[in-house]
Amino acid sequence: MNTYRLLLTFGLVLLAGHFVHAGGQPTANDLVTPEMTTEAPAAGRRVRQVAPEYAGTQVYHALYLPEDWQPGGQYSVIVEYTGNKFVPSGSTGEVKDANLGYGLTGGTGFIWVTMPYIDQGGQQNAVTWWGDRQATIDYCKTNVPRICRQYGGNIDSVFICGFSRGAIGASYIGLADEEIAALWKGMFTHDHFDGQKAWPYPGSDRSAALVRLSRLKGRPVLVSGVGSEFLREHLELADFSFLTVPVSEIFSIPEGKVIHPHTDLWMHRDSEYRDQARQWLRDHQ
């Protein structure tokens, strides 16, 4: 039976494997994120995994092996953190509903891992904000190297990405200390960034964010969307590139249509902006 999944973002509806959007018919090249299953990992399959440390809980991450994956091969890795649960934008905050990493890679060449935020008590994933921040950090430190060993991930070519909460978390979680920061070859964020003063969270002051960003040590960062203007005053911290994404143009949203502009789905539609993001990734892989 087809799964009917309403996506409020931009009025997109995922219906029997197609995008129907506010501005016309879907195109042949539209991407559809693979649904997460409980099957064994395999090429082109996205599966739910529970780390040994969390056996018996509802804490899990999602693993996607690219369509061109083969045992014994070596692949770059994308680690993603999701946005908050935010109904107006269609974001559920759930690991299983992440999209950004799949849009960035197109499902080939990269192992894609969606990491959880561990809720307080360690029994489930947190769908808003950070839960137990230290547990979330430790989970990533343990599982990124483990996944690389098990599935042929190149530990020297691991990128972190995130949307919204995850865009902040790429730094707030991903640069929390020198050990976790050392995992990343580069970073990609969409809509928001650590140190954006509009979002109060522990350690959200800009001075603390700049300390975290100093752990990049000049590595490449592609920043798209809103909330990162202050980074242009601190270009010495990383090899920053900036991308302005006109979502209404990409999805042909009619003028005057009230649709939320905040989504991790924009790279599921072919555009010159997706081409630029993918070229950045290839240039730094």
For the segment 3-9, the average pLDDT, to the nearest whole number, is 32
pLDDT computed for residue 47 by the predictor: 98
Q: Phi/psi at 153 (nearest 5 deg)?
A: -75, 140
For the segment 67-88, the average pLDDT, to the nearest whole number, is 93
Euclidean distance between CA atoms 248 and 194, whole angstroms = 25
Tell me the H-state helices in 128-205.
133-151, 165-172, 178-181
Asked if residues 81 and 136 have their Cβ atoms less than 8 Å apart, the reply is: no
Top-confidence residue, 168 or 87: 168
Neighbours of 159 (CB within 10 A): 26
pLDDT computed for residue 260 by the predictor: 63
Is 3.40.50.1820 the CATH number for 34-284?
A: yes
Contacts of 259 (CB under 8 A, 6+ apart): 9, 10, 11, 22, 248, 253
Asked if residues 46 and 37 have their Cβ atoms less than 8 Å apart, the reply is: yes
For the segment 31-55, the average pLDDT, to the nearest whole number, is 97
Is a pLDDT exceeding 90 seen at residue 38? Answer: yes
Top-confidence residue, 20 or 260: 260
Euclidean distance between CA atoms 46 and 177, whole angstroms = 30
Is a pLDDT exceeding 70 seen at residue 86? Answer: yes
pLDDT computed for residue 46 by the predictor: 98
pLDDT computed for residue 142 by the predictor: 98
Write down the pTM of the prediction. 0.89
Is a pLDDT exceeding 60 seen at residue 23? Answer: no
Top-confidence residue, 188 or 250: 188
pLDDT digits 0-9 by tens, 219-264: 999 999 888 889 999 999 999 999 988 777 777 755 555 456 788 8
pLDDT computed for residue 26 by the predictor: 57
Is a pLDDT exceeding 70 seen at residue 19? Answer: no
Is a pLDDT exceeding 80 seen at residue 151? Answer: yes
Residue 16's pLDDT band (boundaries 50, 70, 90)?
very low
* Burial (CB count <10 Å: 0-12, 13-18, 19+), residue 156: exposed
Place of tokens 């990533």: 140
Q: Provide the residue ranges of all domains of the chain, joining segments of one domain with +.
A: 34-284
Euclidean distance between CA atoms 188 and 104, whole angstroms = 9
pLDDT digits 0-9 by tens, 97-136: 999 999 999 999 999 999 999 999 999 999 999 999 999 9
The radius of gyration computed from the CA coordinates of the chain, to the nearest angstrom, equals 18
